[in-house]
Structure 1
Amino acid sequence: MSVLLSTPGAGDLDEVVRALAEWRREGASMQLHPGDVGFYWQFGPERTAAALRVWSREGRILGVGLLDGSELVRLAVDPEARMDEDLARQMADDVSRRERGVLAAGKAHVEALWGSRFSELLQEGGWELDEPWIPMVRGLSEAVEDCGLRVEVVGPERVDDRVAVHRAAFPGSKFSVERWQAMAAGTPYANARCLVGYNDQGEAVAATTVWSAGPGKPGLLEPLGVHGDHQGHGYGKAMAVGAAAALRDMGASSATVCAEGSNAGAVATYRSAGYQAQAEVRDLSRVE
């Protein structure tokens, strides 16, 4: 049977999120996580569905892509199908041809952070390896130490602090209370927590969202930021430790994050928080 490409409707989102969660396995390569879709949900379910692409065969989802603008697609595939020749060829063709409705013509990036036939086919078609990413993993079999901050789970009374830290950590961000509420109403957020860290003066200094893929599966930190007025005090490390503790409480087998290889500060921060760097992985890019 042929591999079919489709854009899901809002009513199909739960099925897509379930597939992404099922594919998360300890020791497997980093790829699109339910939390990535969950963070995008801040734009609402209809827009989230419109940004997704699904590859399936006989009704079974084999691959999922999340469009981050017109030039970037972030991908995941069923681990059992990573060397499926038909799937690899169909996905490579679909992301390379504008008329398929995945990426625009010209400059484009594909985030496929695993070794596969798909990656080989793109390179054979002229795509080039891009800048490296460093997957970082902290195992959660043992208790997590105190992080040194007062870490609170965000509910309605702490949303303003969550939003303020995010906007101060990521200049230009349009994250808002309304977007947080939309994100929190999404299916993936049922297995997530937003966390805010407070210093000894009671100031909100750092924040993150942790996403579970289910008990016994790797969890994700996405995103983590330190308020611009409070950087340089170790709060990033503290928040990464606090995130690991929260994921352990949620039953995750590990805490994972992927840092840009060029961002030495981020890599050092996570390493200091007990996250172990894995072998670097690379996006693929096309310039035309």
Structure 2
Amino acid sequence: MRWCLIDGVGTILDEAVHALRTWQHDAAPVQLHPGDLGWFWRFGADTMAAAVRTWSRDGRIVAVGLLDEPGLLRLTVAPDLRRDDELARQLAGDLTRPERGFLPAGEVFLETPPGALVRDLLRGDGWHDGDAWTPLVRDLAEAVPDQGLRIEVTGPKGAHVRAAVQRAAFDGSTFTAEQWRDMASAPPYADARCLVGHDQDTPVGAVTVWSAGPGRPGLLEPMGVHRDHRGRGHGRAITLAAAAALRELGSSCGFVCTPSTNTAAVATYRSAGFRPLPARLDLRRAA
């Protein structure tokens, strides 16, 4: 077994994105998506590389993790190896020992797909259930109805508008046009689109959608409505626009995952035809 903290952007990071693409299947649990790496890429290539962890066996990447926040690792495993004992023990050992560099000391959280053996091992080694998340999925076999907003696909000239809506939709967001350009120049964005919804001439909502290739699930990350224009159905409209865009990109379905406590977001996605799946719990290791 070979593990890796990526040092610089190059072949291993490209391979990690490719692996995540191939692991997306309708029948598989909602998991880390290449779009998650793509959205994180807004912080720049060096920060992106420092946040990715990979595990390989016999020259094949078998697990990928993204340190999405200083104390939150989002980890997924190749679908055919979720119950593999050797891999699960390697992962558990790396994640339990801060000196190995995969997770910091103190309180940390781990997201990993349900059914992965590493979850069982960690529960027996000082980890406990943490926060609840609600995955939601919409099948894209049928055409998506018109959403009622004028939709623009963001390009370099419109990056400042996309960034402004993001900051107005999420408290504490520092998203900038320069960050958009960093994200849009990264490999995952080749199969992505940023959409801005306008009510007449006013930008009121935005979303980024990420395809993993034709016939595979696509991701909405993030979606937000300008704080001055909420309560008018714009969240449903921009979510429908996102679903339509993913369908045009060839995605089999669209999915999103939001904290279960965010009942307003869950309601918005449901109103746009997204079906909630059973809530899933991350794992927490106390300080």
TM bucket (normalised to shorter chain) is over 0.9
Per the TM alignment, residue 123 of structure 1 is displaced from its structure 2 partner at its CA by 0.3
Per the TM alignment, residue 131 of structure 1 is displaced from its structure 2 partner at its CA by 1.8
> Does the CA-based 8 Å contact 2:83-2:115 persist in structure 1?
no
Q: Secondary structure of the residue that 2:10 maps to in structure 1?
A: helix
Per the TM alignment, residue 236 of structure 1 is displaced from its structure 2 partner at its CA by 0.7
Per the TM alignment, residue 58 of structure 1 is displaced from its structure 2 partner at its CA by 1.4
- Structure 2: 5+ residue stretches without partners: none
1:227 equivalent to 2:229? Answer: no
Within 5 Å, give how 1:192-271 maps onto structure 2: 192-200=192-200, 202-271=201-270
| Residue number in structure 2 paired with 1:53 | 53
Q: Secondary structure of the residue that 1:251 maps to in structure 2?
A: coil
What is the one-letter code of the residue matched to 2:274?
Y
Deviations 1:70-89 (A, max 9, x none): 21100111001100001011
Mapped to 1, the partners of 2:44 and 2:175 lie a distance apart of 13
Runs of 4+ in 1 over 2 A off after TM superposition: none
> Does the CA-based 8 Å contact 1:162-1:207 persist in structure 2?
yes
Mapped to 2, the partners of 1:113 and 1:237 lie a distance apart of 27
Mapped to 1, the partners of 2:187 and 2:171 lie a distance apart of 28
| Residue number in structure 2 paired with 1:277 | 276
What TM-score results when the alignment is normalised by the length of structure 2?
A: 0.97
Mapped to 2, the partners of 1:257 and 1:185 lie a distance apart of 23
Percent of aligned positions with the same letter in both sequences? 52
Q: Secondary structure of the residue that 1:68 maps to in structure 2?
A: strand
- Structure 1: 5+ residue stretches without partners: none
Mapped to 2, the partners of 1:242 and 1:69 lie a distance apart of 29
| Residue number in structure 2 paired with 1:7 | 5
Mapped to 1, the partners of 2:179 and 2:113 lie a distance apart of 28
Mapped to 2, the partners of 1:159 and 1:178 lie a distance apart of 8
Per the TM alignment, residue 114 of structure 1 is displaced from its structure 2 partner at its CA by 1.9
| Residue number in structure 2 paired with 1:125 | 125
> Does the CA-based 8 Å contact 1:94-1:102 persist in structure 2?
yes
Mean Cα deviation higher: 152-161 or 82-91? 152-161
Q: CA RMSD in A?
A: 0.9
1:94 equivalent to 2:98? Answer: no
The alignment of Structure 1 onto Structure 2 pairs a total of residues equal to 285
Per the TM alignment, residue 113 of structure 1 is displaced from its structure 2 partner at its CA by 3.0
Within 5 Å, give how 1:74-89 maps onto structure 2: 74-89=74-89
| Residue number in structure 2 paired with 1:107 | 107
Per the TM alignment, residue 27 of structure 1 is displaced from its structure 2 partner at its CA by 2.1
Mapped to 1, the partners of 2:157 and 2:69 lie a distance apart of 32
What TM-score results when the alignment is normalised by the length of structure 1?
A: 0.97
Mapped to 1, the partners of 2:267 and 2:198 lie a distance apart of 22
Within 5 Å, give how 1:174-185 maps onto structure 2: 174-185=174-185
Mapped to 2, the partners of 1:173 and 1:104 lie a distance apart of 24
> Does the CA-based 8 Å contact 2:3-2:56 persist in structure 1?
yes
Per the TM alignment, residue 287 of structure 1 is displaced from its structure 2 partner at its CA by 0.8
Mapped to 2, the partners of 1:178 and 1:98 lie a distance apart of 34
> Does the CA-based 8 Å contact 1:35-1:188 persist in structure 2?
yes
Mapped to 1, the partners of 2:164 and 2:49 lie a distance apart of 27
What is the one-letter code of the residue matched to 1:141?
A
Mapped to 2, the partners of 1:17 and 1:158 lie a distance apart of 27
What is the one-letter code of the residue matched to 2:215?
G
> Does the CA-based 8 Å contact 2:68-2:74 persist in structure 1?
yes
> Does the CA-based 8 Å contact 1:113-1:282 persist in structure 2?
no
Mapped to 1, the partners of 2:68 and 2:250 lie a distance apart of 29
Q: Secondary structure of the residue that 1:143 maps to in structure 2?
A: coil
Mapped to 2, the partners of 1:267 and 1:25 lie a distance apart of 23
Q: Secondary structure of the residue that 1:10 maps to in structure 2?
A: coil
> Does the CA-based 8 Å contact 1:31-1:114 persist in structure 2?
no
| Residue number in structure 2 paired with 1:21 | 21
